[in-house]
Structure formats: C-alpha cells, structure tokens
C-alpha cells in the first residue's frame, strides 16, 4: 500500500519529528518549508526547528510532571527533538532548557544527513494529497491558511507571546541570588528579588504601560499558558506574586524569602544571555525597557530581544481530525503540531511522532496501534479528536490521563503510578510498532 514519497509540510518541531521518524523507517520523504525564501513574523533563523518563544521544554521530572513524563515517552519512541534537546541542554534546574541556536542546528544537521529526506525550500500553497503530514504550525499563513480554512471549515485563533532576553553582562548580580525553587537543581536560576515597595512601584508601572497593537483580528483569545505578564497583572495586585513572581521556595543568602522575585534562566550554553522567565509580553519595546528596568537587578539591562506577541491558529480539530491526527475525510492526510490544538514545544513534537507512526502503519498495511488515555501521547491525541463545543489548546497534564483503577490519595505516589503505567504501555507500543514496520 506504500505510496511514496510522503509529503511533510513544515520543518518546525512536529514536521522534523515526523519526517525523521518516517525516514528512519525507510520511507522516502519530501520535507517542504518556506525558509529561507520567506519567514513568518516570529521566525528569523535559517535553521529548521527554530524555537520562537522560550528556550525551555519545561520539566524533566519523569515521575513528578506530565511534561517530563511525555518526554520520556518520546525518548522510548526515538524522538529526534528530545535527542537534540538532551544534547544541547543548558543548566535550568529541573527543567530541560536548551541553547536554542545549537538545538536548531542539531536538528537541521540530522535532517540534512538523512538519506531518505529531500528538503525542499518552497512555500506550499494548497493542502497536499495523502500520504502527507501538514505541520505548518500556529503561524500558518497566506494561501495555505486560506486553503485549509476553505476545505476544513475555518480555524480558531488565539494570541501567543514571547518573553524578553537580556545580556548577562548588563545584569546587576550584586542585587541577585542564585537558587532553584525548593532547592531542586544546582543553582541554575538567577533570582532578582523585590521588596514590597519595589514590587508595588513595578506593578503600577506595568498595569499602566502602553501595549503594542495586534493586527489581523479584533477578537483576542489569549491562551492561558502564555498569558502576557501585563494581562495577568491586570487581574489583581498580588496575581503576579502567586504566578511568575512567586517567592515560594526561594531564599536569599541570608535565608530570607523575598516579597516577589523574577527568575532569569540561561538562554545559551555560554551564559551570555538570560530569559525573563514567565514574562511573555505585548508591551511596546520602549515600555518594556522602562518598566522591566524597574526591577533592581535589571536597572541597566541591555535587551537582546524584546518580548513579542503573535497570532497562533489552530484547527477545529474535534470536527475534522481522528484520534491518530488524520483527517476524517482523508485517512492518509495527517496534521501535527500546534495547528492541531496541542500546546507547547514537546506536545507539538509528540504529535508529529504519533502522526508519523500512524501513517507508517497505514502505508505498510498494518493495523493501528491501540493508543489510549493511559499515556500522555495517547491522551493528547484523544483530546484533540474528542467532541468539544469549546475546544481550546491543551498542554500535557495529568488531568487528561485515564484515572488509576483505585483512588490514590498520596499525590506523589499517584503521579509515580501513572508514570509507571504510561511507560510500560509505551515500551510495549514501541516494540509492537517496530515489529509491524519491520521489512524482515
């Protein structure tokens, strides 16, 4: 039943993951991307798998965090994205953060040296015929976006935001302390404390700062997980102190907990740039400089990149997609990545793996793998296909997993049991898929 080559549109995380998975299982792949001939408003690097917002892939705790569990599921399936992240990681406590340039270069080199992948630098303007995977991301634009909207009944939209990056040598380290929350990690975060007076002055400036205009849409649907700091602040004076500026679990050299604290995370392996953790923003650039420099340690900060806000689009997936990410009307045409309604770097790449595995099985005439809600990969796939009148993007979380058979009150034990069950299921699935795809 093989029809080759397989078309993959979009060389972001999901597209590269899907192309690499198919290629290493001996499928010929044509991977299309508009770079370097054209860039979206949020992209600037010529490399593939460019990280646009944060350089963090979130927690690496396999048995304490759903995204950490998802990463381990993907490792068991041979994920290129997680391999690249592990190889280019920078210190970030319990999180898996990467040097974004080295990460993208790693993925680009892997794709370039894969004999079964032909990289085509061309903008595709219509939905392809199957077999294909469309992984054009949340910034899908132009004729292709119009064709998708026309053929699939339109897209939803929300706005996503990125945090600023500052130069390390412009940080006043005399007004910081190094520590990871609750002592987890090796002191990978730079903490910028504020006392009550400093915080209240910062808060007042933030809520009255001038925001940049966002064009294209009148209705602004902002995903909760990427809420701009100024929007979060508008909810109440102490909202930030229970969010990105929370001091819980952090103590300075004198054992004192600050009133509020901004964390800085290393942006590259050399430690020359730091990301303002959780400070996604849509403030005008001069306002970012003015307001964020009110944080004592950033008084003289040099901003290497200001925060930006951009449009993200996603399908009405429950109406058009099956639980293997294929179109209900065309079982050999798949979608993957944030355009499906999974939210986050790791989740996007994971959907690329799932789509590629499902497509490979169909092309080899093999029965599908029975993924279910016991794994994060399966639960996310099930979520995007489940009937939902108010469908919104979803991160990896324990709430989407199938409950354990017996109630477990101990939260840590419950997470471990969910993780052990998931990984056992993925190990079995990985063996099953490899046997089905084997040409021997």
Q: What are the pLDDT digits (tens) for 283-296? A: 999 999 999 999 99
Region 141-152: what's the mean pLDDT?
A: 89
Average pLDDT of the segment spanning 134-163: 84
% of the chain surpassing 90 pLDDT = 69
What does pLDDT average to over the chain? 90
Which of 74-83, 248-257, 305-314, 398-407 is predicted with the least confidence, judged by mean pLDDT? 305-314
Intervals of CATH 3.50.50.60 along the chain: 6-158+312-437
pLDDT score for 140: 85
CATH class of 6-158+312-437: alpha beta
Q: What is the pLDDT of residue 219?
A: 46
203: Cα separation from own chain's centroid:
28
Backbone angles phi, psi at 21, to 5 degrees: -60, -45
Q: Give mean pLDDT, residues 261-290.
A: 91
Bigger pLDDT: 106 vs 52: 106
Q: What is the enclosing helix (H) or strand (E) of 192? A: strand 189-194
Structural contact between residues 362 and 332, judged by C-beta atoms closer than 8 angstroms: yes
CA distance 354 to 378: 8
DSSP 8-state symbol, 142: H
| Predicted local distance difference test score (pLDDT) of residue 40 | 65
Asked whether residue 54 carries a pLDDT value surpassing 70, the answer given is yes
CATH code of the domain occupying 165-307? 2.40.30.260
Residue 305 pLDDT > 70: yes
- Cβ count within 10 A of residue 256: 12
Across 153-162, 211-220, 246-255, 293-302, which has the greatest mean pLDDT?
A: 293-302
Query: Residue 42 has what pLDDT?
Result: 59
What is the maximal distance between C-alpha atoms in the chain?
Answer: 70
Q: Which of 359, 396, 362 is nearest to 378 (CA)?
A: 396
Q: Answer with the residue of higher pLDDT: 370 or 113.
A: 113
pLDDT tens for residues 386-403? 998 878 888 899 989 999
Predicted structure pTM score: 0.81
Least trusted range by pLDDT, from 149-163, 268-282, 344-358, 425-439: 149-163
Q: How confident is the model at residue 217 (pLDDT cuts 50, 70, 90)?
A: very low
User: Is the pLDDT at 272 greater than 70, yes or no?
Assistant: yes
Q: Mean pLDDT, to the nearest integer, of 10-21?
A: 97
Predicted pLDDT of residue 183: 76
Sign of CA dihedral 107, 128, 322, 216: positive
Tokens of 279: 């400070």
Q: With bands split at pLDDT 50, 70 and 90, how would you rate the model's confidence at 216? A: very low
Report pLDDT for 188.
83
Please name the residues in contact with 333: beta carbons below 8 A apart, sequence gap of 6 or more: 127, 128, 129, 130, 131, 132, 134, 326, 327
pLDDT for 4 equals 67
Residue 301 has pLDDT above 90, yes or no: yes
Q: Which two structure tokens, joined as six digits, stand for 413?
A: 């034990």
Intervals of CATH 2.40.30.260 along the chain: 165-307
Distance CA 195, CA 200 (A): 9
């Amino acid at each position: 039943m093989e029809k080759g080559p397989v078309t993959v549109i979009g060389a972001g995380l999901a597209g590269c993951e899907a192309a690499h998975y198919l290629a290493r299982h001996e499928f010929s792949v044509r991977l299309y991307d508009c770079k370097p001939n054209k860039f979206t408003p949020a992209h600037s690097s010529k490399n593939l798998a460019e990280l646009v917002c944060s350089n963090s892939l979130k927690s690496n705790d396999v048995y304490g965090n759903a995204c950490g569990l998802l990463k381990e599921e993907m490792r068991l399936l041979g994920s290129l994205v997680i391999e690249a992240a592990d190889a280019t990681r920078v210190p970030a406590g319990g999180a898996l953060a990467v040097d974004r340039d080295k990460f993208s270069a790693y993925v680009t080199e892997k794709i370039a040296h894969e004999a079964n992948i032909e990289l085509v630098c061309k903008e595709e303007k219509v939905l392809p015929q199957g077999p294909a995977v469309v992984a054009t991301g949340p910034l899908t634009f132009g004729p292709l976006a119009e064709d998708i909207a026309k053929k699939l009944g339109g897209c939803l939209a929300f706005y996503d935001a990125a945090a600023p990056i500052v130069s390390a040598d412009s940080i006043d380290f005399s007004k910081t302390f190094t520590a990871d929350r609750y002592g987890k990690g090796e002191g990978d975060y730079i903490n910028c404390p504020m006392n009550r007076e400093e915080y209240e002055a910062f808060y007042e400036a933030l809520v009255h700062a001038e925001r940049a205009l966002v064009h294209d849409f009148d209705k602004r649907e902002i995903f909760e997980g990427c809420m701009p700091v100024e929007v979060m602040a508008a909810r109440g004076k102490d909202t930030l102190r229970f969010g990105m500026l929370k001091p819980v679990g952090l103590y300075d050299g004198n054992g004192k907990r600050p009133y509020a604290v901004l964390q800085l995370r290393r942006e590259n392996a050399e430690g020359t740039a730091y990301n303002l953790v959780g400070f996604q923003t849509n403030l005008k650039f001069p306002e970012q400089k003015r307001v964020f420099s009110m944080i004592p340690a950033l008084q003289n900060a040099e901003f290497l990149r200001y925060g930006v806000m951009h449009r993200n689009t996603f399908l009405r997936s429950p109406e058009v997609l099956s639980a293997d990410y294929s179109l209900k009307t065309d079982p050999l045409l798949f979608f993957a990545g944030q355009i499906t309604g999974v939210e986050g770097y790791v989740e996007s790449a994971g959907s690329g793996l799932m789509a590629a595995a499902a497509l490979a099985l169909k092309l080899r005439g093999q029965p599908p793998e029975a993924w279910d809600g016991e794994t994060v990969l399966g639960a996310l796939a099930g979520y995007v296909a489940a009937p939902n009148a108010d469908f919104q993007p979803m991160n990896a979380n324990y709430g989407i997993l199938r409950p354990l058979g017996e109630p477990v009150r101990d939260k840590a034990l419950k997470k471990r049991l969910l993780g052990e069950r998931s990984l056992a299921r993925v190990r079995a699935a990985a063996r099953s898929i490899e046997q089905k795809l084997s040409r021997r």
